[in-house]
Amino acid sequence: MIGPPYADAPWNEIVPGLWQGGHDWRDADGRVRTAVVADEFDLVISLYHRDGCGPADSVEHRHLRIPDGVLLDSDAVAAGQLADLAAATVMTGARVLVRCQAGYNRSGPVTALTLVRLGHDVEAAIDLVRARRSRWALFNEHFLAYLRGAR
């Protein structure tokens, strides 16, 4: 099975101050590019790692390696803690990027939970992530089940 196409931007603003993105994206000529974060954001949450993709040393960087599948309980707890941090950071007026490889699935639960922490209901958060990042965002059914059961 061929997966979804890469997004046409390295990251997209979901709500003011909260961005979702990936390490890979496709430019206007159809070439797959690597997204390198410098200091565009105040906090970067990475759910996938690739050397050389930033962010700059001056940027707070949190990393959680989670599978693109069923979340372990420990992963779900850690994702919730990262969403708490992201929401608190956005509320200060700072810029937050949540990213994974393509910027669709692993970044999706943390971004959606951040939106919930910011006052959106779960379904509205899922819809907003899909509308602003890609219709391919959050296509992992395990992540959707997790979000719909999360509190």
pLDDT at 111: 98
Q: Say if residue 136's pLDDT is above 80.
A: yes
The answer to the question of residue 5 being in a domain is no
**What does the H/E/C string look like for the chain?**
CCCCCCCCCCEEEEECCEEEEECEEECCCCCEEECCCCCCCCEEEECCCCCCCCCCCCCEEEECCCCCCCCCHHHHHHHHHHHHHHHHHHHCCCCEEEEECCCCCCHHHHHHHHHHHCCCCHHHHHHHHHHHCCCCCCCCHHHHHHHHHCC
The answer to the question of residue 2 being in a domain is no
Q: Structural domain of residue 44, as residue ranges?
A: 11-149
Number of domains in the chain: 1
Q: Say if residue 71's pLDDT is above 90.
A: no
Please compute the mean of the pLDDT values over residues 131-150 and round it to a whole number. Answer: 93
pLDDT band at 3 (very low <50, low <70, confident <90, very high): low
The answer to the question of residue 4 being in a domain is no
Q: Say if residue 151's pLDDT is above 60.
A: no
Q: Say if residue 127's pLDDT is above 50.
A: yes
Domain at 28, CATH number: 3.90.190.10
pLDDT at 1: 45
